[in-house]
Structure 1
Amino acid sequence: MGYEAVYRRSIEDPEGYWAEFAAELHWFKPWDRVLDNSNPPFTRWFVGGETNLCYNAVDRHALGGRRGQAALIWESAETGQSRTLTYFELYREVNRLAGLFHNLGVRKGDRVIIYMPMVPEAIFAMLACVRIGAIHSVVFGGFSVTSLASRIDDAEPVLIVTADAGMRKGQPVPLKEIVDKALEEANTDSVRDVLVLNRGIVPVELKKGRDLDWYEQLAKRGERYIEPARMLSTDPSYILYTSGTTGKPKGVVRDTGGYMVALYASMSTIYNCGDGDVFWSTSDIGWVVGHSYIVYAPLLKGVPTVVYEGRPDRPDP
């Protein structure tokens, strides 16, 4: 079917068109209605359906035919490091972290701020959140103390996930130090814990009673399977704030099912991706393109995704 015919069908029969893509994904409970447009512009998709974004992005492949296939390919031009994880390895890492989050009291509907560099652990954190039904809010690792503080005040997270530092243009960005200052500046007292990935880039001081070392905490708990939360299609999956260039940053909330199906469909209809392909979005997970096309869309489609730390012109123009 050619482009014009596909486009025409999507307009003339949107429910049938999108239902076909949705049927290729896993639903714990089928939807009652594909599209509810009774209160525009607040359209609701796959109303009554129950699913889980992490299950569809990870478990569906890790426990199936793509178990040993590459899921995530990390390259750091800043540190010279690289790492490749299969779907099953990603599944294990996400379950371990989801278990830790659960032990820290993070529950469905709680907000978690992720202020991380472009490392695999940032993707683990996003997937662990949606696995247990927590709402992640990723903050771009180049944002200032005040920018982070304003997002903390608005989202009122119970947990912040960060690292000692990121690297930009060969220079460390002290993320943990920025988190400390942002928490001093913020007005909310919602944050109970700060989980810190120590990459050994800059010295880190952990505040007793609040800060937790990533590796120590995971070592205490070992392997654990965490049942994916049954999320309504209309439940929120994440909050991402606008840049604030035209005023105060606004928290944009994405649903679960509609977002998931749209991304999954786009990998074939727009990008023509399938078996044997590798996908690289040069964005950052702090932006919506990074959420959608570094993390969720490629993993939903079963296509390896490249996570790149550094500018495209580093180490060489």
Structure 2
Amino acid sequence: MASIYSAVYAAWKQAPQTFWAGAAADIDWFTPWESVFDSAHGAYGRWFAGATTNTCWNAVDRHVLRGRAEQTAIIYDSPVTGTLEHWSYARLQSEIEAFAACLLDRGISKGDRVILYMPMVPQAIVAMLACARLGAIHSVVFGGFAAKELATRINDSTPKLIVSASCGIEGSKVVACKPLLDGALALAHHKVAHCIVLQRPQASATLLADRDDDYEQIMSKARLKKRSVPCVAVAATDPSYILYTSGTTGQPKGVVRDTGGHMVALKWSMKALYGIEPGEVFWAASDVGWVVGHSYIVYAPLLHGCTTVLFEGKPVGTPDPGTFWRVIDDHQVAALFTAPTAFRAIKKEDPSGSFRDKYRLSALRALFLAGERADPDTIRWAEDLLKVPVIDHWWQTETGWAIVGNPMGLGLLPVKHGSPTVPMPGYALEIVDDGGAPVAAGQLGNVVVKLPLPPGSFPTLWQAEERFKSAYLTDFPGYYKTADAGYVDEDGYLYIMARTDDIINVAGHRLSTGGMEEVLSSHPDVAECAVIGMADQLKGQVPCGFIVLKSGVSKSSREIEDEVVALVRERIGPVAAFKRVVTVARLPKTRSGKILRSTMTKIADNVPFEPPATIDDPAIIDEISAALNASTR
């Protein structure tokens, strides 16, 4: 179809409140709003002020009442445990209501905080929506976080209750969660009255008689009683959840998501951005502990009346690089949303894509990538393999949904590799220099968004309004600072080149590490890469590249390193001063797949640091250090 993006974006720009009021018609409201946008409320204003609603009602109850009771709401596919379950909307509603009764019996009510320290199991979604049903505020903490990091989140959010599990599973490794929970509660100065623990057969946990309840035991009793627990009306401007940003150490930053605007934006995005119809199967291959899991495993698909895939596994190793293709085939997935890191991992293990030929992917219409910069080489590889549009889009934990994308539901725009395409309605982007002055098309600068932010974006940080202002709103008055650097081309397409911290200064020249990474990733033997800026007495900083090679490469690593250096010199020029490349077995990443470039920089510069709490495997730090020391460049 011909794209109507320009007309839709223009309609938003001309009358933003009318635009979002129209989108809000797809949400059930208990009482209407007094104003679509109240500019006097909060740091930059609030959406749908005066309205009341409930997220659980919109995500579950209304679908049961309107003909979707027997439709599958959740497909739980766990290759690591050999489990496959299909949960109907009716079953999901029944389980949520039973768990909400359990929460009520333990004193949870509107406005209370509940931490969910859970693996990728359906009970995590039940707990999230049960909190929403009661108007309680959930804070999901990734199930692999250590005790210290969980304790900081307990102290900051001050929950009345914690829901956890006996264990999580990372690939083939069983991770005992309950000892970490017990350690966090011992460290935290805030005391939690109740814990509910899901016992998993892979590792049972010891429960404390005066504090801990067995999930299945209390749920069995609640199911028998069949108690009615109606959805509580909450203000559209009330918090629905708190999500602590990945990479946080010390005092965490708790991103707050409101209730009304959150639902309006996510519901709109399912059709307009992802091109998905109610009833279709949508798969976000993420974790419920991250923002993608919140938005596109749980809330957006269910608000839209879709079937969502909850996948407990890895793109490789559970059991092989064909796992993603098997899930798409088995469940007739219409759209897959994952991080570029996942596809780099698949490409590394199966460069020819041979596993794809074992499965029928006829239901798949599009692949969406986000979470880490999508290099053109990975996009081309995925396009050639899948024969469907591969759509990069860019957003942040803070925004909760896409800032920039290629809206499939409005008609795809021409793809430009390396660009997530154009701003979505609600986002007025500008590229400015460090003083806030606009820069010319094609010139690198700070990516900022004119206030107000659209529905779905965070209105504040939890109990930290001044920190919210200083971190995001002060540096560029009237704008939200994304902390990303990029440029806009003559067609209005955005290119995100790096975090602003990753722009390096080589002898007075501001250079993008992302641009160099594009060159490195284009080499046919490179599976993934990262470029950092190392301190240099003469030039201030010089770039250093790290490369991970594909399986089965015949050339020596030194030969490939020489070729990569020559490529950068050819495509970027001598100004990059790019001379050092280090081959490594793997790159340090967060558990959500983001490469920890700042950590690599500290390793290279011999700066003391604490390993980030979100690192996938701390042993990689020593591997990077050893590789640097062994490098002769």
Q: Letter of the aligned partner of 2:53 in structure 1?
A: T
- Paired amino acid for 1:127: L
The letter of the residue matching 1:205 is T
Alignment of 1:1-317 (within 5 A): 2-38=4-40, 41-189=43-191, 191-222=192-223, 223-245=226-248, 248-313=251-316, 314-317=318-321
Deviation at 1:16, TM superposition (A): 1.1
Query: How far off is 1:38 after superposition?
Result: 3.3
User: Higher Cα Rg: structure 1 or 2?
Assistant: 2
- Between the aligned partners of 2:103 and 2:63, the Cα distance in structure 1 is 23
Change over 3 Å in CA distance of 1:215–1:25 after alignment to 2: same
Q: Give the stretch that moved more between structures: 244-253 or 44-53.
A: 244-253
Looking at structure 2, the residues matched to 299 and 11 of structure 1 have their Cα atoms a distance apart, in angstroms, of 28
How far the C-alpha of 1:41 sits from its partner, in A, is: 4.5
- 1:172-231 per-residue CA deviation (whole Å, 9 max, x = no partner) reads 111111101110111111x11110100121131111110000111112222222111101
What is the rounded CA distance, in whole Å, between the counterparts of 1:31 and 1:245 in structure 2? 36
Displacement of 1:161: 0.2
- Paired amino acid for 1:183: L
Write the distance in 1 (CA, Å) between the matches of 2:310 and 2:173. 19
CA shift in 2, pair 1:158/1:245, >3 Å: closer
How many angstroms apart in 1 are the aligned matches of 2:173 and 2:106?
33
Structure-1 separation of matches of 2:49 and 2:8? 24
Aligned partners of 1:148 and 1:49: how far apart in 2? 34
Structure 1: distance between partners of 2:288 and 2:189: 26
Shift in Å at residue 238 of structure 1?
Answer: 0.4
- How many Å separate the matches in 2 of 1:245 and 1:125? 24
Question: What SS is found at the alignment partner of 1:239?
Answer: strand
CA contact (8 A) 2:71 2:279 kept: no
Give the whole-Å Cα distance in 1 for the aligned partners of 2:204 and 2:66.
42
Counterpart residue type for residue 271 of structure 1: Y
Alpha-carbon distance in 2 for matches of 1:39, 1:236:
14
Structure with the bigger RCO (C-alpha within 8 Å, sep 6+) is 1
Note the alpha carbon deviations across 1:96-117, whole angstroms, 9 max, x for none.
0001100111111110000000
Q: Which moved more, 1:237-246 or 1:210-219?
A: 237-246
Compared with structure 1, are the counterparts of its residues 41 and 4 closer, same or farther at alpha carbon in structure 2 (3 Å cutoff)?
farther
| Preserved CA contact (<8 Å) 1:63 1:88 | no
- Rounded to whole Å, the distance in 1 between the matches of 2:155 and 2:42 is 29
Question: What is the root-mean-square deviation in Å for CA atoms of aligned residues?
Answer: 1.3
Question: Would you say how many aligned residue pairs link Structure 1 and Structure 2?
Answer: 316
Q: Which structure 2 segments of 5+ residues have no match? A: 322-633
CA contact (8 A) 1:133 1:237 kept: yes
SS at match of 1:240: strand
1:61 is paired with a residue whose SS is: helix
Cα deviation, residue 245, structure 1: 4.4
Distance 1:311 1:192 in 2: 35
Identify the range of structure 1 (93-102 vs 19-28) with the bigger mean alpha-carbon deviation. Answer: 19-28
Q: For the structure 1 residues 276 and 213, does the alpha-carbon distance in structure 2 shift closer, same or farther, using more than 3 Å as the test?
A: closer
Distance 1:212 1:246, change over 3 A: closer
Q: Distance in 2 between matches of 1:245 and 1:234?
A: 26
Distance in structure 2 (CA, Å) of the matches to 1:40 and 1:151: 23
CA contact (8 A) 2:120 2:287 kept: yes
Amino acid at match of 1:104: R
Asked if 2 retains the 8 angstrom alpha-carbon contact of 1:114 and 1:136, the reply is yes
Give a deviation string over 1:132-186, Cα, whole Å, max 9, x none: 0110000011111111011011111110000110111111111111101110111
Name the CA distance, whole Å, in 1 between partners of 2:4 and 2:133. 37
Q: What is the TM-score of this pair, normalised by structure 1? A: 0.97
**Partner Cα distance (1:161, 1:276) in 2:** 30
Counterpart amino acid of 2:243?
Answer: L
User: Which amino acid in 2 is paired with 1:34?
Assistant: V
Q: Is the 8 A contact 2:167 2:203 kept in 1?
A: yes
- Asked if the contact 2:75–2:87 (Cα under 8 Å) also holds between the matched residues in 1, the reply is yes
* Structure 1: distance between partners of 2:244 and 2:307: 27
Q: Following the alignment from structure 1 to structure 2, what is the Cα–Cα distance between the partners of residues 119 and 245? A: 25
Match of 2:301, as an amino acid?
A: P
1:247 positional shift: 5.7
What code does the residue aligned with 2:132 have?
Answer: V
Residue 25 of structure 1: how far off its partner (Å): 1.4
Q: In structure 2, the residue corresponding to 1:307 is in which secondary structure?
A: strand
Looking at structure 2, the residues matched to 168 and 221 of structure 1 have their Cα atoms a distance apart, in angstroms, of: 31
Identical counterparts, % of pairs = 51
